[in-house]
């Protein structure tokens, strides 16, 4: 790649890196280059990169403080950042210097990268989105800080034992973390439980909180460097620690139990990430986590504001501070800001209310009711007595305001209220107290406005907007797919990396045979890379000449991995009936973690394994089909898988996937999509025209209508579609290898009869089965025409620019935050 303007002379930088790496090895590890272990080499190299980022970090802070610009705080319980070393080198535009330096040292960057423990501080799309946003914010030079939790254990590591998922702890911090810097000056106290006394003796209300438990929040800051930019932002992750190992004052007063409880609370709060995705359970520890990091963050925000703007009243906080909550998990930040403004800063209720609403904005990421957070009122009151009082008061005022608009409409007001039926409804809190609310694709925003949040949309018509998700080009193309990156850069120059719209310049190249040939070669190399990875890690041989068909995402009924698996059984049966059946050779890749407590999701993993064993046990079928389940899907696995994919499976029940983001990564990397008109797939189809994507199945409106009016009867499809019946019967007739004959009867039952009052097949797997199979026929028809397939693949990449998270962040900024970039002086 070309050499960027801020890069010092390549040769000089290379020499410098060599001497720095050798220096770090000697001074930190007392080792020579020859003696160093891979892990020590990784750390030494990482430290040199860190030094370079630190310089930017310091300069950025200085510039930000001087320029006094409004700053965004992006709050999220998940930041799924993945490994940092190579990404940081790329963002510093020093990849060439490092490549040459390490080559001279005889060190393989790809190899030492494997020594970096991967931070898996998120479940899936929501957490990865937050990480892409940090990259884009830094690249655009916008003043922002990410705020979250420093989990000691990230998302569990998945192993597959005899076809079943087994969870192992993710102790990613065991060997230290090169990238974080603890900031002891900004430690905060967070208080849980206790009692509230209202003291009016001075004529003014004074709140006294007593008998609480204290936990100390210690911030660890991770620098996030922008791409080809002098700005480095902070990702601040809070870690819990006990006030003192044992609070001796409590101890000496005989309050042993409380002292011990504090120590225990502190030890558990930031211990582990909850592994539920798109699902909420009202667990006390989870509520503690949420309050822990939001309280610490809000305290820091107010402290920093007062330090930076000593003469500005807090009624003007929103001029200097924007607070964004990534779903409702951080929504306790709202009453926490009210608490600090009221109890500590002496603002009036009206002022505190106004300021808070002006600061906050909220992104909704799902319409699925089981994912909407609701806390049991009693738990909420006991754990957070003052926050409960304030939330109650917010609710009262909100309902009162609604009453003015909708007099006597008890139904509407109770639907919109924040506290009802002994539950605190966090989405309603966030809706009431944010000045903007956004969905994550246009379809999703439409559903919010017309359906889930229709009452709010009527009350405040401009409040709910749609901002389509995006992914960072740097990690998902430059880092993951260097071959494609070089090819694109050669064709259209390097500017697309920061200005992804320029990818459209590739459109004419779709008709350029030489370019297409090279595009194909890059794909073939990535397929070989994945095949080698699988051979070395799993001892499985795949055919790099087969169609690589990938479904990689959390395991969920609504994402319908089951539809994919049933379709493989259908192909299996066709080959059994006619070994000469016209079926293109394919490798089906699955990668998916299931929540440990999600029984049916785990059953689907077992089914995929049973299908895999069945397919490979048949000498005829295995010549055509192969199923590979890649365990422990994570960011670094995605970086190998996605560039190798030719077909991207985005087959959720329409209306259920708010946006999806893997769809964008696959598209960027030149895979064609087979998908429903759901989430951002709709926009993908609009952007490049329906010819370049395989769309099938019911539309969101139809699904909604069928379910609402009980028009869907899965059993009828079973009776009328012979092929479908045959496939479904395989779940229960002993065709599949299983521990016991009824192994898959739960799946069978749920599709045909429903359970626990649920209708049969609520995700319309059977209804979309035939259209899916047909679309798959079309896929293989096009795949056989190599040139046509490549043409479409190039057009996918060429139209992916819209899905850059730089565009997404620019839209958030124009429509919600209104930040100005930090001006950096370039030396």
For ligand GPW, the binding residues (CB under 6 A) are: 123-126, 129, 277-278, 327, 365-366, 371, 440, 469, 657-661, 679
Report d(CA 656, CA 644) in Å as an integer.
Answer: 27
Q: Return the number of the residue (343 or 657) whose C-beta is nearest ligand GPW.
A: 657
Q: Dump strand ranges (E) for 441-555.
A: 464-466, 547-552
Q: Dump strand ranges (E) for 686-815.
A: 694-695
Catalytic site includes residue 62: no
Residue partners of 161: CB distance under 8 A and separation at least 6: none
Helix (H, G, I), strand (E, B) or coil at 460: coil
Q: Return the number of the residue (359 or 658) whose C-beta is nearest ligand GPW.
A: 658
N- to C-terminal Cα distance for the chain? 23
Beta carbon of residue 784, minimum distance to ligand GPW (angstroms, whole number): 32
Identify the residue whose tokens are 């001075």. 202
Beta carbon of residue 367, minimum distance to ligand GPW (angstroms, whole number): 9
Beta carbon of residue 371, minimum distance to ligand GPW (angstroms, whole number): 3
Other C-beta atoms closer than 10 Å to the C-beta of 399 total 17
To the nearest 5 percent, what fractions of the chain are helix, strand and coil? 50, 15, 35
Residue partners of 11: CB distance under 8 A and separation at least 6: none
Catalytic site includes residue 271: no
Beta-sheet pairing, 547-552 with 586-591: parallel
Q: Return the number of the residue (469 or 526) whose C-beta is nearest ligand GPW.
A: 469
Q: Return the number of the residue (132 or 628) whose C-beta is nearest ligand GPW.
A: 132
Q: Return the number of the residue (126 or 333) whose C-beta is nearest ligand GPW.
A: 126
Report d(CA 585, CA 589) in Å as an integer.
Answer: 13
DSSP 8-class letter at 709: T
Beta carbon of residue 170, minimum distance to ligand GPW (angstroms, whole number): 18
Catalytic site includes residue 523: no
Report d(CA 313, CA 548) in Å as an integer.
Answer: 59
Catalytic site includes residue 468: no
Residue (of 220, 236, 267) closest to 330 by Cα position: 236
Helix (H, G, I), strand (E, B) or coil at 175: coil
Q: Return the number of the residue (219 or 655) whose C-beta is nearest ligand GPW.
A: 655
Q: Return the number of the residue (137 or 484) whose C-beta is nearest ligand GPW.
A: 137
Q: Return the number of the residue (259 or 592) whose C-beta is nearest ligand GPW.
A: 592
DSSP 366-401: ---GGGS-EEEHHHHHHH-HHHHHHHHHHHHHHHHH
Beta carbon of residue 231, minimum distance to ligand GPW (angstroms, whole number): 24
Residue 592 backbone class (left: φ over 0; alpha: ψ -120 to 50; beta: rest): beta
Active-site residue (options: 50, 290, 665, 792): 665
Written as six digits, the tokens of 447 are 């559903």
Catalytic site includes residue 315: no
Active-site residue (options: 653, 661, 673, 797): 661
Beta carbon of residue 363, minimum distance to ligand GPW (angstroms, whole number): 7
Active-site residue (options: 157, 449, 553, 656): 553
Active-site residue (options: 554, 556, 624, 792): 554
Written as six digits, the tokens of 235 are 């990702």
Identify the residue whose tokens are 């299908």. 611
| Enclosing H/E stretch for 525 | helix 513-538
Beta carbon of residue 433, minimum distance to ligand GPW (angstroms, whole number): 18
Residue (of 474, 473, 466, 512) closest to 491 by Cα position: 512
Beta carbon of residue 642, minimum distance to ligand GPW (angstroms, whole number): 15
Written as six digits, the tokens of 433 are 């107290």
Active-site residue (options: 64, 436, 559, 586): 559
> Which residues are designated catalytic?
365, 553-554, 559, 661, 665
């Amino acid at each position: 790649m070309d050499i960027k303007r801020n890069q010092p002379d390549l040769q000089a930088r290379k020499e410098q890196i060599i001497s720095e790496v050798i220096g770090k090895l000697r001074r930190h590890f007392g080792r020579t280059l020859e003696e160093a272990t891979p892990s020590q080499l990784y750390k030494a190299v990482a430290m040199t990169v860190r030094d370079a980022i630190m310089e930017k970090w310091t300069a950025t802070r200085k510039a930000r403080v001087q320029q006094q610009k409004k700053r965004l705080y992006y709050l999220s319980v998940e930041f799924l950042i993945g490994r940092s070393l190579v990404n940081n080198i790329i963002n510093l535009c020093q990849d060439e210097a490092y490549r040459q330096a390490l080559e001279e040292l005889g060190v393989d960057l790809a190899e030492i990268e494997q020594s970096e423990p991967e931070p898996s501080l998120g479940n899936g799309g929501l957490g990865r989105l937050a990480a892409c946003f940090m990259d884009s914010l830094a690249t655009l030079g916008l003043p922002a800080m990410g705020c979250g939790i420093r989990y000691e254990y990230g998302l569990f590591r998945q192993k597959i034992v005899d076809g079943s998922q087994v969870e192992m702890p993710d102790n990613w911090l065991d060997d230290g973390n090169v990238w974080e810097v603890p900031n002891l000056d900004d430690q905060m106290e967070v208080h849980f439980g206790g009692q509230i006394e209202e003291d009016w003796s001075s004529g003014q209300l004074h709140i006294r909180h007593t008998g609480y438990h204290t936990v100390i929040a210690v911030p660890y800051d991770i620098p996030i460097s922008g791409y080809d930019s002098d700005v480095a932002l902070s990702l601040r992750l809070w870690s819990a620690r006990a006030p003192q190992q044992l609070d001796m004052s409590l101890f000496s007063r005989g309050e042993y139990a409380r002292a011990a409880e504090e120590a225990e609370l502190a030890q558990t709060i930031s211990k582990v990430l909850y592994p539920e995705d798109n699902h909420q359970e009202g667990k006390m520890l989870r509520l503690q986590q949420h309050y822990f990091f939001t309280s610490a963050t809000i305290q820091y925000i107010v402290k920093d504001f007062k330090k930076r703007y000593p003469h500005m009243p807090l009624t003007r906080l929103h001029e200097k501070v924007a607070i964004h909550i990534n779903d409702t998990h951080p929504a306790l930040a709202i009453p926490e800001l009210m608490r600090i403004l009221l109890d500590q800063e002496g603002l009036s209720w009206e002022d505190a209310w106004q300021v808070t609403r002006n600061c906050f904005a909220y992104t909704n990421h799902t319409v699925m009711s089981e994912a909407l957070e609701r806390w049991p009122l009693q738990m909420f009151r006991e754990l957070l007595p003052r926050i409960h009082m304030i939330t109650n008061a917010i609710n009262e005022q909100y309902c009162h305001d609604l009453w003015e608009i909708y007099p006597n409409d008890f139904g509407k007001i109770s639907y919109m209220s924040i506290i009802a039926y002994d539950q605190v409804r966090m989405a309603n809190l966030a809706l009431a107290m944010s000045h903007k609310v956004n969905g994550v694709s246009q379809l999703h925003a439409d559903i919010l406005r017309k359906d889930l949040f229709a009452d709010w949309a009527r009350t405040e018509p401009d409040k709910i907007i749609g901002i389509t998700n995006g992914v960072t080009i740097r990690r998902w193309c430059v880092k993951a797919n260097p071959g494609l990156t070089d090819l694109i850069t050669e064709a259209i120059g390097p500017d697309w990396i920061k200005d992804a719209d320029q990818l459209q310049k590739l459109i004419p190249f779709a008709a350029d045979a030489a370019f297409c040939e090279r595009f194909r070669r890059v794909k073939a190399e990535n397929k070989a890379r994945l095949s080698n990875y699988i051979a070395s890690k799993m001892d499985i041989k795949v055919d790099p000449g087969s169609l690589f068909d990938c479904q990689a995402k959390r395991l969920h009924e609504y994402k319908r991995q089951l539809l994919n698996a049933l379709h493989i059984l259908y192909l299996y049966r066709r080959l059994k009936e006619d070994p000469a059946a016209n079926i293109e050779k394919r490798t089906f890749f699955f990668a998916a973690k299931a929540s440990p407590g999600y029984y049916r999701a785990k059953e689907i993993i077992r089914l995929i394994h049973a299908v895999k064993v069945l397919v490979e046990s048949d000498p005829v079928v295995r010549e055509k089909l192969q199923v590979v389940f890649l365990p422990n899907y994570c960011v670094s696995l995605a970086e190998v898988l996605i560039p190798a994919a030719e077909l991207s499976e985005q087959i959720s029940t329409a209306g259920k996937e708010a946006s999806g983001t893997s769809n964008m990564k696959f598209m960027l990397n030149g895979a064609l999509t087979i998908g429903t008109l759901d989430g951002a797939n709709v926009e993908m189809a609009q952007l490049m025209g329906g010819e370049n994507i395989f769309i099938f199945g019911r539309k969101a409106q139809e699904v909604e209508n069928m379910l609402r009016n009980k028009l869907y009867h899965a059993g009828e499809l079973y009776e009328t579609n012979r092929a479908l019946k045959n496939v479904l019967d395989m779940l229960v007739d002993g065709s599949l290898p299983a521990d016991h004959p009824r192994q898959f009867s739960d799946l069978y039952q749920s599709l045909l009869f429903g359970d626990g009052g649920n209708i049969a097949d609520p995700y319309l797997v059977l209804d979309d089965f035939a259209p899916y199979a047909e679309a798959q026929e079309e896929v293989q028809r096009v795949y056989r025409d190599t040139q046509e397939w490549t043409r479409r693949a190039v057009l996918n990449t060429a139209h992916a620019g819209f899905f850059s998270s730089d565009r997404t962040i620019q839209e958030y900024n124009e429509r919600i935050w209104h930040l100005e970039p930090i001006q950096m002086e370039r030396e």
